[in-house]
C-alpha cells in the first residue's frame, strides 16, 4: 500500500518543528503535504526545511472539509495512494510506530474505511481536559459498524481528523470530504461510511498527544458551529441519535470525576459546560 500524510496549518508555532522531526523518524513512509492558510510565522519555511511540500490556500477560504479534500486531490495528482493520514498541527506523536499502528487495520480488514487513534493529554492539560481525552479515547480498541448505533448512539460515528487515516477508495465512495459544513467533517464522513456498510476502527495502540484547555468563550464559539453542523446535517441525528443525550452523560461523569480530584475544578467546568450548551442551542436554531 502507498500512504500519504496531510497537515492543515496556520501559524503552527515552534512545536511544529518537533512534530515534523517525529514524522521523519516514523517507521511508516508517507508522501507528505502541508496545506497552509497564509501563515505569517515560520510554518512554511520549517516545512520546507524538512522537505515537505507546501500547498497554500487563502485564509478566508479555509474550510475544514473542503480544504482537506482540496489537498488530497492535489496529492493524488502525482501520488498513487491507497491510504491518506490526517494530522493537525498541534499533535505530537507518541512513538516511532504511531502512524504504522494507525494504518495496520487496512491490511487486515477490507471493510474498514476509517481508522482513528488514541489522543493522550499534553503535559499542561487541565483535569477537565484529561477527563475529556479519557472519555473519548479509552485504552481498548474498537471496531464499529452501522448496527452498533443501537449501543453507542451518535458516538458510533465519532472520529477525529487530528489523528486519522482513510482508505481512499472508501473516501471516494462516500463523496470525499464535504465543503459545506463549518466543522465535524470527520463525523460527516464517518457517518456516511457506516451507512454505506463500511466500518470504523478505533486503534487504541496508535497514540498521539493532543488536548486543549479551552476557555468558556472558546467553547461557546466552537459549540455554535457544532450546533449549526447538527442542524444542517439532521440526517446524522435521525440515523444515529441526538448529540445532547451523549452530552448529558459526559457532563455527569466529568463532574463526578472532577469532584473526586479537586472540587474547585467543578465550578469552571460547569461554566464551560453552560457555554457549550447555549452555544450548541444557538447554533441549532440559527442555521
Q: What is the pLDDT of residues 80-101, one digit of tens each?
A: 999 999 999 999 999 999 999 9
Grid coordinates of 84: 491518506
pLDDT band of residue 181 (cuts 50, 70, 90) is confident
Beta-carbon neighbour count of residue 245 at 10 Å? 12
Going by C-alpha positions, the residue among 117, 118, 30, 34 that lies closest to residue 82 is 30
Exposed, middle or buried, 262 (CB in 10 Å: 0-12/13-18/19+)? exposed
C-alpha pair distances (Å), 152 with each of 1, 108, 134, 218, 248: 32, 24, 16, 28, 14
> Are 127 and 229 contained in the same domain?
no
> Are 165 and 255 contained in the same domain?
no
> Are 223 and 194 contained in the same domain?
no
**What residues make up the domain containing 174?**
3-209
Number of domains in the chain: 2
Grid coordinates of 201: 476502527
Beta-carbon neighbour count of residue 180 at 10 Å? 11
Q: Is 34 helix (H, G, I), strand (E, B) or coil?
A: strand
> Are 144 and 269 contained in the same domain?
no
Q: Is residue 212's pLDDT more than 60?
A: yes
> Are 99 and 136 contained in the same domain?
yes
Q: Is residue 194's pLDDT more than 90?
A: yes
> Are 221 and 167 contained in the same domain?
no
> Are 253 and 150 contained in the same domain?
no
> Are 242 and 128 contained in the same domain?
no
Grid coordinates of 21: 522531526
What residue spans of the chain are helical by DSSP H? Answer: 15-24, 43-49, 64-76, 98-108, 127-136, 149-152, 168-173, 185-195, 216-232, 234-240, 243-261, 265-285
Tell me the whole-structure pTM to 2 decimals: 0.91
Q: What are the backbone angles phi and psi of residue 203, rounded to the nearest 5°? A: -95, 95
Q: What is the pLDDT of residues 135-171, one digit of tens each?
A: 899 999 999 999 999 999 999 999 999 999 999 999 9
> Are 118 and 176 contained in the same domain?
yes
Residues 240-265 have a mean pLDDT of: 67
Q: Which residue has the cell 454505506?
A: 196
Total residues belonging to the chain: 287
> Are 205 and 233 contained in the same domain?
no
> Are 35 and 136 contained in the same domain?
yes
**CATH assignment of the domain containing 22:** 3.90.550.10
Amino acid at each position: 500500500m502507498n500512504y500519504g500524510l496531510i497537515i492543515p496549518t496556520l501559524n503552527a508555532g515552534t512545536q511544529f518543528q518537533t512534530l515534523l522531526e517525529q514524522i521523519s523518524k516514523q517507521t511508516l513512509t508517507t508522501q507528505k503535504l502541508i496545506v497552509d492558510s497564509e501563515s505569517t510565522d515560520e510554518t512554511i519555511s520549517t516545512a520546507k526545511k524538512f522537505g515537505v511540500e507546501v500547498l497554500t490556500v487563502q485564509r478566508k477560504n479555509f474550510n475544514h472539509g473542503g480544504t482537506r479534500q482540496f489537498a488530497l486531490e492535489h496529492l493524488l495528482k502525482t501520488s498513487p495512494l491507497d491510504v491518506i493520514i490526517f494530522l493537525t498541527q498541534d499533535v505530537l506523536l507518541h512513538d516511532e510506530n504511531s502512524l504504522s499502528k494507525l494504518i495496520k487495520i487496512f491490511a487486515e480488514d477490507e471493510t474498514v474505511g476509517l481508522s482513528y487513534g488514541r489522543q493522550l493529554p499534553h503535559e499542561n492539560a487541565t483535569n477537565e481536559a484529561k477527563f475529556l481525552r479519557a472519555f473519548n479515547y479509552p485504552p481498548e480498541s474498537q471496531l464499529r459498524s452501522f448496527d452498533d448505533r443501537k449501543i453507542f448512539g451518535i458516538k458510533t460515528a465519532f472520529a477525529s481528523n487530528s489523528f486519522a487515516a482513510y482508505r481512499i477508495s472508501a473516501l471516494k465512495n462516500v463523496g470525499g470530504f464535504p465543503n459545506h459544513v463549518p466543522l465535524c467533517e470527520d463525523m460527516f464522513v464517518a457517518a456516511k461510511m457506516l451507512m454505506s456498510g463500511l466500518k470504523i476502527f478505533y486503534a487504541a495502540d496508535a497514540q498521539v498527544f493532543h488536548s486543549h484547555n479551552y476557555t468558556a468563550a472558546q467553547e461557546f464559539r466552537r459549540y455554535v458551529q457544532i450546533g449549526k453542523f447538527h442542524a444542517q446535517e439532521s440526517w446524522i441525528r435521525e440515523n444515529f441519535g441526538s448529540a445532547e443525550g451523549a452530552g448529558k452523560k459526559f457532563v455527569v461523569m466529568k463532574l463526578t470525576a472532577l469532584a473526586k480530584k479537586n472540587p474547585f475544578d467543578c465550578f469552571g467546568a460547569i461554566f464551560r459546560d453552560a457555554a457549550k450548551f447555549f452555544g450548541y442551542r444557538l447554533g441549532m436554531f440559527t442555521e
